[in-house]
Amino acid sequence: MDLDNFKIIGVTRDEVAIEIIDPTEYKGQFNIGSYIKIPYNQESDNYIIGIIKNYKIKNLDSDDPKTGTGENSFVIEVELIGSYKKDDADKYLFERGAHGIPLPPNNGIALLSNEDFNNIYSCKLQSSEKFTFSKLVQKEDLRVPINGNKFFNKHFAIVGSTGSGKSHTVATILQQAVKEKNDGYDGLNNSHIVIFDIHGEYKKAFPEANLINFENIKIPYWLFDSDELGDLFIESNENNSHNQVSQFRYAVTENKKKENPSLNQEKIYFDSPLKFKIDEVIRYIRNINNELIDKKNNRNPTTKTEEAIPNRLPKYFEEDLEFEKINSNYVNGAYTGDFERFILRLDTTRLNPRLNFLFKDVDSIELEEVLKQFLGYTKNKSNITVIDLSGIPFEVLSITVSLISRLLFEYGYYYKKILENGNECETPLLLVYEEAHKYVPKSDLVKYRASRTAIERIAKEGRKYGVTLGIVSQRPSEISETIFSQCNNFIAMRLTNPDDQNYVKKLLPDALGDITSSLPSLQAGEALIIGESIILPSIVKIDFPENEPESSDIDYLEIWKEKWKDDVPFNNITDEWKK
């Protein structure tokens, strides 16, 4: 390539216009998105790095009759993104930000070579930090390493429209993560990854994973916090919801004290992760809704058999009492008749067979057992836990995600608390939220409050305790801004919705202008990687996973060409539907 065939014809603070005098010398060596190096200060070892953002043909429409068609040339516009210099150790370093804009005339302009790319990608990477799962689109023989520490400990987001390859990308990255290990040991590495799988896609991608689904999940109601219990049992828009909340909180707190007599009673609160009996709490609410007061007998609740009850607790927990007005001394209690709808909702929720996983056989479960199932410390240990949410009823999806997220955050918090000084974390966790817009949307609706609160807390504080997020979504513009803005690394795949494109452009940590304009035209499996983990923002081709998730497109036309299918198992389908 004749380097003198490039000529600078214009310079601004962050752009350079370069004329290619004879374009016939180049046959597909570069295109929009290619990287170019420009020497400055007349020193051949120091360069400005830019990315080609567009080009135009000079003189094509010239009115000058002396201009012939053979004299047409190309002008490329290059956006400057950083400097590429040799240090004192004769090693090339790349720094973002183009300081020292070249002034024309200048020669020696060239496209980046494979050696240049390798120098740039690796200049600030230790070999132990390198993590690779893609290759450069423009040079498919060139692997693109990123800083694995900065990628996993700074939160990351994978966004792209349906069919862009998000699920395959997630599978590739996580499959690679569980294979990484230092020399000298056999068996599993120390990675701990939890996937919130809303469509049941990832069982196939991780056949050795710890699979949790509707049938085997252990998630007892007594671990719910105030927001989660409120979402489950209390209708916040009712006129007397404040009374429902106050009495429900009181009953739960007192029942926890009753069920945990060996603990310091003064340190038991509504949010304490202690067992309580929901049936006794419902019984208490039913009794205060029915109670009658004997105003002549110290205003004690009095039953139809004239039994005075000087202390509601623990009596109201133990049995359903019968109250009946037998004389004029009996008057309503403070809440008599106020909780009819509340009791109906409590009973309906408690007896709903679809919510058995919250209530059935959970009294014997210990908190330690709940944590172990989500962290892969089961009989068959596993780096990856796939939580299949597809069978979880939609009305409790948010609080299910909330509880699991909160427990894992608090696990990291208390684990760090007991570590000796100097030890930051021994079991870092990655929580991957597939289709994250489904349970952490940019919405103030009460039904999303619990999951938003839990995941936003992880986004803001989790890194300190070794708990980080992987946010995956096809609609990034619908995700909570608090959560998305905390991500420091982005894998942006094809996005066709203008709102999503603009939203991602605003949140990307690099000011690279038109490099993001390629988002609508990326092919399946291609992505823009940008953020703290990669020194040079790059458009890459993601490696194909060893095992695919169940997210491949259905071959409609091929299947439609087949003979009409008479043996559809309708009975089996409806039986499964009714479960």
**Where residue 172 sits, what CATH number does that domain have?**
3.40.50.300
111 with 135, same domain?
no
pLDDT at 155 over 60: yes
For residue 347, what pLDDT band results from cuts at 50, 70 and 90? very high
**Higher pLDDT residue, 128 or 88?**
128
288 with 411, same domain?
no
Averaged over 19-27, what is the pLDDT?
73
pLDDT in tens, 349-385: 999 888 888 888 888 888 899 999 999 998 889 999 9
Averaged over 436-457, what is the pLDDT?
82
Residue 15 placed within a domain: yes
Residue 362 placed within a domain: no
169 with 261, same domain?
no
Residue 270 placed within a domain: yes
512 with 385, same domain?
yes
Task: State how many domains the chain has.
Answer: 3
pLDDT at 386 over 50: yes
**Lookup: tokens for 457:** 């807390």
Could you tell me if 288 and 312 are in contact, meaning their C-beta atoms sit under 8 angstroms apart? yes
The amino acid sitting at 367 is L
Averaged over 254-282, what is the pLDDT?
92
pLDDT in tens, 461-514: 999 999 999 999 988 888 888 888 888 999 999 888 888 888 777 765 555 556
214 with 233, same domain?
no
pLDDT in tens, 297-310: 888 898 888 888 99
pLDDT at 545 over 90: yes
Q: Which domain holds residue 479?
A: 131-218+373-554
385 with 428, same domain?
yes
Domain boundary among 124, 157, 173: 124
308 with 193, same domain?
no
**Lookup: tokens for 354:** 């679809």
For residue 65, what pLDDT band results from cuts at 50, 70 and 90? low
Would you state the pLDDT for residue 238?
58
Would you state the pLDDT for residue 107?
67
The listed range with the strongest mean pLDDT (147-161, 479-493, 562-576) is: 147-161
333 with 201, same domain?
no
Q: What percent of the chain has pLDDT over 90?
A: 33
402 with 483, same domain?
yes
Could you tell me if 45 and 85 are in contact, meaning their C-beta atoms sit under 8 angstroms apart? yes
Rounded to two decimals, the pTM is: 0.85
| Low-confidence winner among 140-144, 253-257, 327-331, 423-427 (lowest mean pLDDT) | 423-427
Averaged over 44-52, what is the pLDDT?
82
pLDDT in tens, 68-109: 555 567 888 888 888 888 877 778 888 887 665 666 656 678
Q: What is the mean pLDDT of the chain?
A: 85
Would you state the pLDDT for residue 28?
62
| Low-confidence winner among 5-19, 264-278, 325-339 (lowest mean pLDDT) | 5-19
Q: In Å, how far from its chain's centre is CA 390?
A: 17
The listed range with the strongest mean pLDDT (182-191, 310-319, 390-399) is: 310-319
92 with 201, same domain?
no
Residue 121 vs residues 84, 126, 128: alpha-carbon distances, Å? 11, 11, 14
Residue 428 placed within a domain: yes
Residue 272 placed within a domain: yes
pLDDT at 566 over 90: no
Residue 185 placed within a domain: yes
Could you tell me the sign of the dihedral formed by the alpha carbons of 216, 220, 226, 229, in that order? Answer: positive
Residue 568 placed within a domain: no
Residue 564 placed within a domain: no
Domain boundary among 124, 140, 157: 124
**Lookup: tokens for 44:** 């051949």
β-strands 467-473, 429-433 pairing: parallel
159 with 304, same domain?
no
What CA–CA distance (Å, rounded) separates 469 from 152? 8
214 with 303, same domain?
no
For residue 1, what pLDDT band results from cuts at 50, 70 and 90? very low
